[in-house]
Structure 1
Amino acid sequence: MTVARDTASAEYRRIAALALPALVVLAAEPLYVLVDTAVVGHLGRVPLAALGMAGTVLGLAVWLGNVLAYGTTGRAARRFGAGDRAGAVQEGVQASWLAVLAGLGLVAAAQVFAGPLTRALSGNGPESADVAALAESWLRVASLGAPFILLAMAGNGWMRGVQDTRRPLRYVLGANLASAVLCPLLVYTLGWGMVGSAWANVAAQTASGGLFLRALIVERVPLAPRWDVLRRQVSVNANLLVRGAAFQACFLSAAAVAARFGAAALAAHQIALQLWFFSALVLDSVAIAAQSLVGAELGAGDAPAAKRTARRIAWLGGWCGVAFAVVLGAGVAVLPALFVDDPAVWEQAALIWPWFLVLLPLGGIVFALDGVLIGAGDVAYLRNLTIIAAVAGFLPLTWLAYYLQLGLPGVWAGLTMFLVVRLVALLLRMRTGGWAVPSPGPVPASP
């Protein structure tokens, strides 16, 4: 009994050693976005609504970045577990090339489509034209940071795969802290208004992406693109891309429906959604540990160890979600007021707060098990599950909320159903154990 207890304690310490530095990295970006939300929110509800609209669109870059990071972590972890560290880093090199190419494409698309897209999403309300105009100007500037967002996410991916979570901590935290200081300076002191927050975003993203690029260079591995590896990465990432597209369809729909309930509703949605993203990414630190550990254990051929890690990860994720719900539940009376001075927005936020709190324990387990399956390479299952949860849960309930005029609670009921469907299916998948497929043999070293 003592030996088993000591073994479990050692496993939890190993998880914590990866999860805690990853937690700081994951929290840095959403914390900056929360600062950005508070700074812009005190310009008024229309700028805050515009930030909610444009930020949701820019989330496309974050989605692509997460695809790169998660896909790269799983592949790099398998190589690292098989003793091929150089091959693990080489996965990061090729992912970085994909990041730059995709980022440049996003910059070009934003310059062409920012106006039509924000106008289409903002609806026809009395303040919609003002919201769309501000969102367009913010998006055109903020999109310039997309290549660096993706470069940083690719860097996070390969470093997590080789179980190095300390350098990403320094890179991301330093860049975002500097930008958090720059944001109010540009918005208020220099009088740039809302667009100042976009330039602060670009500054942070450029610094962070540059640091991750330097980290690749000092590894002294070949930096040239390898088209065979790039094609393989695109093929492997296709499942994660489709899965991410389902997420984007859901959150863009939620923003569009919230906008049709008025600027106050969209502003409240922005506050709650950014707090949700912050909580989700912090909870995702457990999933990052799962990706690295499960990938390495299966790469070493140890399926029983991967299953034990999965169970412990799920418990940790659930309890962390409960802790977040308790803390944020206690802040219901004060948190919205930190972001905006408008009582109409506070009233809308109060309507959705109970839904927000229910999501946290559910999300803690779901994100942890997502990490397990990504580390195991079981991304086709995750792709199919996300599409089903979106089509059967999030999207119909969100648009039903619009047609029945249910307001923001209807939108957040859709998000809750999205998580419930995924939770049930993930628990069933864990029970079967079919996801825990070890590598057939050592991964060959990359030239």
Structure 2
Amino acid sequence: MQTLEEVSENNGGDELTENGSLWDQVTEIVKFSGPAVGLWICGPLMSLIDTAVVGQGSSTELAALGPGTVFCDYTSYLFMFLSIATSNLVATSLARQDKSEVQHQISTLLFVGLACGFFMLFFTKCYGRWALTAFTGAKNTEIITAANTYVQIRGLVWPAWLVGWVAQSASLGMKDSWGPVKALAVASAINGIGDIVLCRFLGFGIAGAAWATMVSQVVAAYMMIEALNKKGYNGFAISIPSRNEFLQIFTLAAPAFVAILSKIVFYALLVYFATAMGTKAVAAHQVMIQLYCICAVWGEPLSQTAQSFMPELIYGANRSLSKVRELLKSLVIIGALSGLILGSIGTLLPWLFPKIFSSDPEVIHEMQKVLIPFFIALCAAPPINCLEGTLMAGRDLKFLSISMSGIACSCTLLLLGLSRSGYGLSGCWFGLVAFQLVYSL
């Protein structure tokens, strides 16, 4: 397989880089990644809305959202390999100008997404409470019961969720970010209105938040498929992949899965260590980690830009390593500026307006103890996303998986040491900073 170093220095290239000017490149990146922000912000935004609404009613249910969202949101990130494989395969097929191949790639990946969705539906139904108990500890009965209610309701959407994810990634591989973002804008509105009505007015608490999120995700999945249909492809056509096709998907997906799993396990361990510090600490961590996620995902469109545009420069007819480097330079510059802005805004919210998330003074105190590492972590996230997306576009996933798993193991030991040394929630967040900085190197 061809690597970035083997790409020839040919003339020509993609619309994103042919203008030559750094400013032109930045403008084109913003045109694509600007709308794509909505795609990445939707999931964390839904969980943050749940957090804000539920937190006004019960600290126990707010704490329960910690393991509940870990199970739903973090587990969903395990299937990011579907997004990576879809974007890469679709973008590469489009570079070859083979529309029938694009349709076939979409159909086989829709089957994989649907199969994974039904597997997760079964797992949630049969083993959801067991997983939550293992994660939070058997003594936290109230938290487990509330979290299981949330998980079981949201688990109903797994098949539609993953099918919609494949459809979204196919659109991004076609360099279209507007179609999917419209779907998720509608979904976010449904989730917000549903949370307010079901939780605040009807008093359903954490169950109401789960129903609102679940319905919004079904609507989003349907609209994602419709957006794909409008491009001339059949988003409802599902095809079982052949052995060779499955191996092709597996070659891309397996290393990506290992890298994503390593990252998810580390983030889940942050919640695990916070849970051991008591209800107030885990409630504060739930607020901060959701706020971190909703800010950090603003850097994900930069990764997606690399995955959508670089395959043509690497594998297309007009390949050019110099233009890949130019694009990466532009992405990193935007990423650094984005990190500084996001870090500043994200830190000001819990510092100056903490009662947006909780009225409990103990929870607020725990939140404000971690503001310094929280700021550093947010600043570092977007530039790292740029580098990660470039590796994915170049299919250098073996290196990505090995480095990520090794760093996750090392930083887990650091996290364990900080926790046992009595650093509390601050130790968890400094552990996250160490994880990011080592990974970026």
Q: 1:263 aligns with which of 269, 273, 279?
A: 279
Partner Cα separation in structure 2 for residue 287 and residue 200 of structure 1: 29
* Matches for 1:14-413 after TM superposition, within 5 Å: 14-123=28-137, 128-217=140-229, 219-221=232-234, 223-228=238-243, 229-300=245-316, 301-393=319-411, 395-413=412-430
Partner Cα separation in structure 1 for residue 44 and residue 320 of structure 2: 35
Partner Cα separation in structure 2 for residue 306 and residue 405 of structure 1: 46
Which residue number in structure 1 is paired with residue 8 of structure 2? none
Deviations 1:187-216 (A, max 9, x none): 222222211111111101111112223344
Deviation at 1:89, TM superposition (A): 4.0
Deviation at 1:330, TM superposition (A): 2.9
Contact 1:74–1:376 at 8 Å: present in 2 too?
no
TM-score scaled by structure 1? 0.89
Flag the 1:173–1:89 CA change in 2: closer, same or farther, 3 A: farther
Flag the 1:5–1:302 CA change in 2: closer, same or farther, 3 A: closer
Contact 1:280–1:364 at 8 Å: present in 2 too?
yes
SS class of match (1:331): helix
Contact 1:397–1:410 at 8 Å: present in 2 too?
no
Deviation at 1:9, TM superposition (A): 2.0
Partner Cα separation in structure 1 for residue 368 and residue 207 of structure 2: 29
Partner Cα separation in structure 1 for residue 377 and residue 209 of structure 2: 29
TM-score scaled by structure 2? 0.90
Runs of at least 5 residues in structure 2 that lack an aligned partner in the other structure = 1-17
Q: Supply the AA of the counterpart residue of 1:46.
A: T
Deviations 1:252-275 (A, max 9, x none): 211111011001110111111111
Contact 1:283–1:317 at 8 Å: present in 2 too?
yes
Deviation at 1:415, TM superposition (A): 0.9
Contact 1:123–1:256 at 8 Å: present in 2 too?
no
Deviation at 1:279, TM superposition (A): 1.4
Flag the 1:240–1:339 CA change in 2: closer, same or farther, 3 A: same
Q: Supply the AA of the counterpart residue of 1:155.
A: A
Flag the 1:312–1:77 CA change in 2: closer, same or farther, 3 A: same
Q: Supply the AA of the counterpart residue of 1:350.
A: Q
Flag the 1:411–1:253 CA change in 2: closer, same or farther, 3 A: same
Deviation at 1:348, TM superposition (A): 0.5
Which residue number in structure 1 is paired with residue 432 of structure 2? 415
Larger CA deviation: 84-93 vs 257-266: 84-93
Note the aligned Cα RMSD (angstroms). 2.0
Q: Supply the AA of the counterpart residue of 1:249.
A: V
Contact 2:110–2:163 at 8 Å: present in 1 too?
yes
Partner Cα separation in structure 1 for residue 138 and residue 148 of structure 2: 16
Deviation at 1:298, TM superposition (A): 1.0
Contact 2:104–2:239 at 8 Å: present in 1 too?
no
Deviations 1:283-306 (A, max 9, x none): 111111111111221122222211
Flag the 1:351–1:375 CA change in 2: closer, same or farther, 3 A: same
Contact 2:180–2:227 at 8 Å: present in 1 too?
no
SS class of match (2:369): helix
SS class of match (1:154): helix
Q: Supply the AA of the counterpart residue of 2:226.
A: R
Deviation at 1:108, TM superposition (A): 0.8
Deviation at 1:158, TM superposition (A): 1.2
Flag the 1:131–1:190 CA change in 2: closer, same or farther, 3 A: same
Which residue number in structure 2 is paired with residue 8 of structure 1? 22
Deviations 1:112-139 (A, max 9, x none): 11222212222366xx221111111111
SS class of match (2:334): helix
Deviation at 1:63, TM superposition (A): 0.9
Flag the 1:379–1:334 CA change in 2: closer, same or farther, 3 A: same
Flag the 1:332–1:182 CA change in 2: closer, same or farther, 3 A: closer
SS class of match (2:172): helix
Deviations 1:349-379 (A, max 9, x none): 0111111100122111101111111111111
Flag the 1:224–1:252 CA change in 2: closer, same or farther, 3 A: same
Partner Cα separation in structure 1 for residue 136 and residue 20 of structure 2: 56
Flag the 1:212–1:272 CA change in 2: closer, same or farther, 3 A: same
Deviations 1:360-407 (A, max 9, x none): 2211110111111111111111111111110112x1122223322321
Identity %: 20
Partner Cα separation in structure 1 for residue 152 and residue 66 of structure 2: 15
Q: Supply the AA of the counterpart residue of 1:345.
A: V
Contact 1:38–1:339 at 8 Å: present in 2 too?
yes
Partner Cα separation in structure 1 for residue 429 and residue 264 of structure 2: 15
Partner Cα separation in structure 1 for residue 324 and residue 110 of structure 2: 28
Partner Cα separation in structure 2 for residue 31 and residue 253 of structure 1: 22
